[in-house]
């Protein structure tokens, strides 16, 4: 096993990113803990809680969730079958000992319509070293005993009604709460998208125009139908052997910041180098740790969008640090949470831990944009997602594409781990490529599912 997980780019290179994108000077890659000194804590107390089996409580069965055997007639039932498995997965510069739902980080995205019944079954293989649980934030039911530990070699099923539309985290609840931090921060998290029962709303964007010699407001309206992406933010806190380091977590000493499991997973690769610069070995972006096609599903990919297209981002902060979500070069046209508009025309939106949003954006001009967590430490440790809009590099002419395409997605596809299942107001992606922090076995399943 490759034990190294250290950064593969130098501090000088990171400074170039800073100066290029933000005109600032690189100073520090970590967020210093200011409210808690883990080195002075009695860690034995925390370990004792884990050794005793966690903080398991006893609640009356009268508070149970929806009876899976007696679901109300007329409700649509969506089965969500996942496994809990510990595996070794790559990270930037090496490997780490991950915990996963169904062999991937993040876990599979579940998509339902408001009012559907979700029938969740978690299975833990007999050979798994530890129990796991699943806390689904889209639910409204007693946590105990519903989210309790599922032992190796067993399964657990529960049902609930998805009453509230929006984006909701699900995550491993550890061993009856004990070690929940370890399980989640090693990869056991995902999202549920609950579409509004009556669909999404039209998008209104305010612009200006000159009318009769006067500047006036012009309101532009876009169909609820949108091209959609999912972005989930988290951190890794690892020791030299690629294992979870609780002490680092307590002191907020991030090893890497990840988007959909990857640090710098959505930056150019050697194919993009060849197309744009004519040399696959000459990097476009200063940090391209996942360049080679030999990396298969782990090769970095870009997000491709048409200019003037309505785009909907489902975003979840799965981690331990705030996410200051911002697109370099654009304004977020609308922020929605739980089907309620929170902001229109904002530059950045703050998401705390286990908080989500739906961000609607129309990219006005062809070009290159970068979605970031606008915390410089997060950017420099992996939270940068490159978005290419339209045909800024003239590839239609260069490759003699006839007829010309409106985005490079028609030629190269969008990454499978950033593309959610289709919903009632989804625009189908022209093409999808295989990309994700998947085991090889899971990658083969996804290729079959997507017909890649």
Query: Residue 331 contacts by C-beta under 8 Å, 6 or more apart in sequence?
Result: 345, 346, 347, 361
Q: Are residues 256 and 309 in the same domain?
A: yes
Give 23 or 337, the one with higher predicted confidence.
Answer: 337
Residues above pLDDT 90, as percent of the chain: 81
Q: Are residues 259 and 313 in the same domain?
A: yes
**Any domain includes 5:** no
Lowest-confidence segment of 47-61, 190-204, 292-306, 316-330 by average pLDDT? 47-61
Please determine, for residue 232, whether its predicted confidence score (pLDDT) is greater than 60.
Answer: yes
Query: Residue 79 contacts by C-beta under 8 Å, 6 or more apart in sequence?
Result: 119, 121
Q: Are residues 242 and 128 in the same domain?
A: no
- Residue 177 CA to residue 191 CA, distance in Å, equals 19
In terms of Cα–Cα distance, which of 8, 3, 85 is closest to 439?
Answer: 85
Q: Are residues 366 and 438 in the same domain?
A: yes
Considering the entire predicted model, what is its pTM? 0.86
Q: Are residues 273 and 409 in the same domain?
A: yes
Q: Are 236 and 95 in contact (CB under 8 A)?
A: no
Q: What was the pLDDT predicted at 36?
A: 38
Query: Residue 400 contacts by C-beta under 8 Å, 6 or more apart in sequence?
Result: none
- Residue 197 CA to residue 176 CA, distance in Å, equals 34
Q: Are residues 180 and 87 in the same domain?
A: yes
- Continuous segment of H or E residues that includes residue 412: helix 409-412
Q: What was the pLDDT predicted at 10?
A: 33
Average of pLDDT values for 390-419? Answer: 97
CA atoms within 13 A on the CB side of 190: 27
Q: Are 300 and 289 in contact (CB under 8 A)?
A: yes
**Any domain includes 392:** yes
**Any domain includes 214:** no
Q: What was the pLDDT predicted at 145?
A: 80
Q: What was the pLDDT predicted at 177?
A: 87
Please determine, for residue 442, whether its predicted confidence score (pLDDT) is greater than 80.
Answer: yes
Q: What was the pLDDT predicted at 62?
A: 33
3-state class (DSSP) for residue 11: helix
* Count of C-beta atoms within a 10 Å radius of residue 8: 15
- Residue 423 CA to residue 39 CA, distance in Å, equals 47
Distances (CA, A) of 192 to 109, 224, 244: 6, 20, 26
**DSSP assignment of 167-222:** EEEEE--TBTTBTHHHHHHTT-EEEEEEE-TT-PPPEEEEEEEEETTEEEEEEEEE
Q: Are residues 436 and 323 in the same domain?
A: yes
**Any domain includes 313:** yes
How high is the mean pLDDT of the chain? 88
**Any domain includes 323:** yes
In terms of Cα–Cα distance, which of 163, 185, 181 is closest to 173?
Answer: 181
Q: Are residues 152 and 233 in the same domain?
A: no
Q: Which residue has the tokens 């305010």?
A: 206
**Any domain includes 337:** yes
**Any domain includes 274:** yes
Residues facing residue 96 across a β-bridge = 89
**DSSP assignment of 303-364:** EEE-TT-EEEEEEEE-SSS-EEEEEET--EEEEEETTEEEEEEESEEEE-TTEEEEEEEE--
Q: Are 144 and 58 in contact (CB under 8 A)?
A: yes
- pLDDT tens digits along 246-296: 999 999 999 999 999 999 999 999 999 999 999 999 999 989 999 999 999
CA atoms within 13 A on the CB side of 434: 22
- pLDDT tens digits along 124-181: 999 999 999 999 988 888 777 888 899 999 999 999 999 999 999 999 999 988 899 9
- Continuous segment of H or E residues that includes residue 232: strand 226-236
**DSSP assignment of 21-88:** HHS-----SSPPPSS--GGGS-HHHHHHHHHTT-------GGG--B-TTSPPTT--EEEEEEEEEEEE
Average of pLDDT values for 113-130? Answer: 96
Split into its structural domains, the chain has a count of: 2
- pLDDT tens digits along 58-102: 333 333 368 999 999 999 999 999 999 999 999 999 999 999 999
Q: What was the pLDDT predicted at 157?
A: 95
User: Domain limits at 127?
Assistant: 44-195
Q: What was the pLDDT predicted at 417?
A: 98
Q: What was the pLDDT predicted at 328?
A: 98
CATH number of domain containing 50 = 2.60.40.420
3-state class (DSSP) for residue 161: strand
Q: Are residues 155 and 298 in the same domain?
A: no
- Residue 412 CA to residue 430 CA, distance in Å, equals 9
Please determine, for residue 5, whether its predicted confidence score (pLDDT) is greater than 70.
Answer: no
Q: Rounded to the nearest 5°, which phi and psi values hold at 264?
A: 55, 45
**DSSP assignment of 116-128:** PEEEEEEEE-TT-
**Any domain includes 207:** no
Domain end among 195, 210, 244: 195
Q: Are residues 306 and 163 in the same domain?
A: no
Q: Are residues 294 and 378 in the same domain?
A: yes
Domain end among 128, 161, 195: 195
Q: Are residues 187 and 270 in the same domain?
A: no
Please determine, for residue 338, whether its predicted confidence score (pLDDT) is greater than 50.
Answer: yes
Q: Are 329 and 367 in contact (CB under 8 A)?
A: yes
- pLDDT tens digits along 339-392: 899 999 999 999 999 999 999 999 999 999 999 999 999 999 999 999 999 999
- Residue 18 CA to residue 266 CA, distance in Å, equals 17
Burial of 355 (0-12, 13-18, 19+ CB in 10 A): middle
Domain end among 158, 178, 195: 195
CA 408 remoteness from chain centre:
22
Give the DSSP letter of residue 402: S
Please determine, for residue 19, whether its predicted confidence score (pLDDT) is greater than 50.
Answer: no
Please determine, for residue 214, whether its predicted confidence score (pLDDT) is greater than 60.
Answer: yes
């Amino acid at each position: 096993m490759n034990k190294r997980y250290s950064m593969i780019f130098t501090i000088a290179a990171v400074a170039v990113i800073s100066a290029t994108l933000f005109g600032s000077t690189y100073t520090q890659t970590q967020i210093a803990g200011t409210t808690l000194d883990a080195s002075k804590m009695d860690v034995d107390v925390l370990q004792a809680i884990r050794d005793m089996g966690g903080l398991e409580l006893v609640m009356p069965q009268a508070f149970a969730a929806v009876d899976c055997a007696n679901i109300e007639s007329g409700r649509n039932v969506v089965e969500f079958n996942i496994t809990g498995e510990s595996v070794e997965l790559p990270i930037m510069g090496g490997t780490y000992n991950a915990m996963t739902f169904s062999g991937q980080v993040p876990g599979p995205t579940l998509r339902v319509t408001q009012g559907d019944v979700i029938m969740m079954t978690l299975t833990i293989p007999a050979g798994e070293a530890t129990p796991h649980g699943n806390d689904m934030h889209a639910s409204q039911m007693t946590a105990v005993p519903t989210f309790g530990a599922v032992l190796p070699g067993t399964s657990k099923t529960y049902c609930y009604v998805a009453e509230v539309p929006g984006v909701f985290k699900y995550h491993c609840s550890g061993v009856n709460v004990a070690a929940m931090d370890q399980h989640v921060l090693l990869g056991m998290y995902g999202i549920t998208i609950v579409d509004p029962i009556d669909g999404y709303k039209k998008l209104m964007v305010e612009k200006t125009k000159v009318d009769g010699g006067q500047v006036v407001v012009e309101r532009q309206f876009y169909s609820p139908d949108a091209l959609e992406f999912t972005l989930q933010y988290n951190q890794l806190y690892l020791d030299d052997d690629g294992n979870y380091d609780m002490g680092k977590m307590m002191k907020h000493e991030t090893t890497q910041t990840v988007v959909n499991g990857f640090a710098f997973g959505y930056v150019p690769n050697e194919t993009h180098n060849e197309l744009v610069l004519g040399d696959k070995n000459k990097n476009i972006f200063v940090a391209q740790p996942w360049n080679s096609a030999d990396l298969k599903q782990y090769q970095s990919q870009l997000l491709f969008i048409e200019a003037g297209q309505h785009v909907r981002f489902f975003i979840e902060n799965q981690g331990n640090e705030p996410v200051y979500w911002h697109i370099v070069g654009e304004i977020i046209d609308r922020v929605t949470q739980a089907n309620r508009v929170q902001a229109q025309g904002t530059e950045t939106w703050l998401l705390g831990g286990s908080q989500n949003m739906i961000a609607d954006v129309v990219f006005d001009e062809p070009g290159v944009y970068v979605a970031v967590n606008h915390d410089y430490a997060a950017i420099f440790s992996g939270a940068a997602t490159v978005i290419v809009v339209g045909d800024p590099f003239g590839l239609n002419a260069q490759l003699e594409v006839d007829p010309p395409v409106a985005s490079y997605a028609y030629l190269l596809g969008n990454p499978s781990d950033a593309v959610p299942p289709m919903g009632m107001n989804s625009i189908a992606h022209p093409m999808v490529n295989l990309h994700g922090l998947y085991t090889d076995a899971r990658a083969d399943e996804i290729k079959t599912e997507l017909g890649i």
